[in-house]
Structure 1
Amino acid sequence: MQPQRLSRRSGEAMATAEGYLRRLTRRLTEDPEQLDVDELSNEAANTGAQKAIDCQRGQEVTMIGTLRSVECNGKSCAGGVKAELFDGTDSVMLVWLGQRRIPGIESGRTLKVHGRVGKLDNGSKAIYNPHYEIQK
């Protein structure tokens, strides 16, 4: 009796299935936050957007990231709307002065923003009155 040989196609199918199972296992066992960070970082790289960690004060940038938080300072909203944008490398505060609320600007949304990087009083990076496009 001769040993049974696998056809080339069935061997490729097994390799594909093994690769799928390996990716699925990794996806199910990895830290979800790390997966989100990697996904955001890759999305920014694929669109040609700058990484927040590389941006310097005074630089005009285009960035893509997810809004982690959105806040308004009190009833009068004298400080405007502030939102924390995270792109997988670092956070940048987006500040819209004189606004009480901006439709579509909500936690969890993915935005593409364009503006000049500045600094807040606490030294963190900020973009004032950025142009934005809602991605998701």
Structure 2
Amino acid sequence: MSKSSVLSTPLWRRALQRFTASESDLAAQEAQEDAVRHGGTPCRAIPNRTRACVCGTLRSVTLRPRGGVQALEAELFDGTGSVSLVWLGRRSIAGVEPGRRVKARGLVADDDGQRVIFNPGYELLCSESP
């Protein structure tokens, strides 16, 4: 969701949508707005084999081997979809944990139908207080 589409929607309509939306829909919409605010590209809009910046929340972080090498894999969700972030040769990274907000940059590849960024540059984002 772009800034212009959020701002062009009348205030009363946005309030009505928030009142009638499910909790998961509200969380997804909030994640989309947060990603746009931090300069991220929506996950659903990223073409394959392009460099991109994505922002979102880590849903899961797992350690699994890839090609005989240990790899730390995290699923980043931004409200529109998800991207797997894979750090090859890493067993852990301080601060990379489920629930953490992250901004990541790298080349987006396709791995069996799932978007993935290998060895992304990343930035841990702080939680905003309400």
Name the TM-score, length of structure 2 as normaliser. 0.76
1:112 is matched with 103
Q: What aligned pairs does 1:49-128 form with structure 2 within 5 A after superposition?
A: 49-73=40-64, 78-120=69-111, 122-128=112-118
The alignment covers a number of residue pairs equal to: 110
Unaligned runs of 5+ in 2: 1-11
Whole-angstrom distance in 1 between the partners of 2:31 and 2:85: 17
1:46 is matched with 37
1:12 is matched with none
What is the root-mean-square deviation of aligned Cα atoms in Å?
2.1
Whole-angstrom distance in 2 between the partners of 1:104 and 1:48: 21
Query: Does the alignment pair 1:130 with 2:117?
Result: no
Aligned-residue offset at 1:30:
4.0
Aligned-residue offset at 1:56:
1.3
Aligned-residue offset at 1:45:
2.0
Unaligned runs of 5+ in 1: 1-18
Query: Does the alignment pair 1:32 with 2:28?
Result: no
Identity of aligned residues (%): 36
1:3 is matched with none
Question: One-letter code of the match for 1:68?
Answer: R
Aligned-residue offset at 1:46:
2.5
